[in-house]
Structure 1
């Protein structure tokens, strides 16, 4: 009986500590030294993450990426470009809980409000002057001006943005604590989804229905809408009758 009680006292706290650890983890811990992601064409199963390469085929090249050494195309409406490199593009990041990004902004360029549902982000300004900020769940704004060498952190899942407030192009690099941080753009979510398109059509149809009802009510006071030929003819007949009387 004493042994059972002792085991229970050890087992329950251990389970609690494991639960707490899992609750606060962003990405799962790696169970081996390295685990570069297997190429997509070699993946035969779907898992929460990416399968590892055969250890015998791992090379130093898996841990190097050149995808962020060139500026992005900022000739667009926002005058900015952000490239996020995750484990899918950079195999060596797999199981490390990391992703990296580069943001280039023209003068007055803007990175529209967005969020990363699975990661916090640390932004490092490499060139130029930026205004960066985020909004918490109480709609409180946290914003600062950043200059070369400054660092700013965006908490996980919160809306954040940045804009170029200097007189030259600006460049910033980011590290995110998830190998697949995700990206939710407010503009795309609101105006680019099928749900919003359906909602817009619904609102338009409701508006048209209200206009039609208003037109029907107008006839109660002896007036007729003239938006089509039939109603125009009815109006003319009414006018003739009033003139003869």
Structure 2
């Protein structure tokens, strides 16, 4: 009886898995993004006759980016569908993050992707928060890999006196990034001061002071 139930479960599982796979498998070789077209859940496909090798190529993460103009001492160079149109519908993208000594990639989340980082140079401190408030953190060295689950708050910091850099891989062609500080204190229109004051246990004047550090988004 148990064997029969096992076979039944496996059969149902395999049929369901095959159905799900069939529904998400592309029916064409590729769909290079037409970046001028309307974006709904991805970009429309470019005319196949207009596809070139450049649609699948990007040189922007070959060299370290300058962090001199970054208030946090870190610079993210994304290689997503907006930089590589050939990534459209593929569900993958990468980025390079460069950190000056003491640089920080502040707490943020990616609503559409999990993230795995590979340390290119230096030593960094990383961590993410679970929905129960547990901090999972670790110091990473050159060659190490660390994974951040989808949509959980996470950060990276370079605590050393030398530059550091990582390569980040995502399971989305356009992961999206929401940074905590600017999202809460620099929203447009702004979140009411009294709401933020109550949420953070601060006075309205303190909230105004914090908001002054995050110009409203346009």
Corresponding residue for residue 49 of structure 2: 56
Structure 2 residue matching 1:187: 3-state secondary structure: helix
Which string of whole-angstrom CA distances, capped at 9 and with x for unpartnered residues, describes residues 15-34 of structure 1?
A: x8269848xx9xx5432222
Deviation digits for residues 146-202 of structure 1 (CA, Å, limit 9, x no counterpart): 11111100000000000012331001111100011111100111111135x351278
Counterparts of residues 1-245 of structure 1 (less than 5 Å): 17=16, 21=20, 29-40=25-36, 43=37, 45-75=38-68, 76-195=70-189, 197-200=190-193
Under a length normalisation based on structure 1, what TM-score does the superposition of the two structures give?
0.68
**Aligned partners of 2:196, 2:121: CA distance in 1, in Å?**
45
Report the alpha carbon displacement of residue 54 of structure 1 after superposing the two structures with TM. 1.6
- Assess if the C-alpha contact under 8 Å between 2:184 and 2:191 holds in 1: no
Give SS of 2:146's match: strand
CA displacement 1:106-159 (0-9 Å, x = unmatched): 111111000001100010100000011111111111111111111100000000
Structure number with higher helix proportion: 1
Q: 2:176 and 2:20 mapped to 1: Cα distance?
A: 22
Alignment length (residue pairs): 187
Kindly state the Cα deviation for residue 84 of structure 1 after the two structures are TM-superposed.
1.9
Aligned to 2:214: none
User: How far, CA to CA, are the matches of 2:196 and 2:146 in structure 1?
Assistant: 41
- Contact preservation (8 Å) 1:29, 1:95: no
For residues 18-62 of structure 1, give each alpha carbon's deviation from its aligned partner in whole angstroms, at most 9, with x where no partner exists.
69848xx9xx5432222211231xx2x443111111222222221
Bigger radius of gyration:
1
Q: Which runs of 5+ in 2 are unaligned?
A: 1-11, 198-202, 205-218
Q: Report the Cα distance in structure 1 between the residues aligned to 2:151 and 2:49, rounded to whole angstroms.
A: 38
TM-score where L is the length of structure 2: 0.76
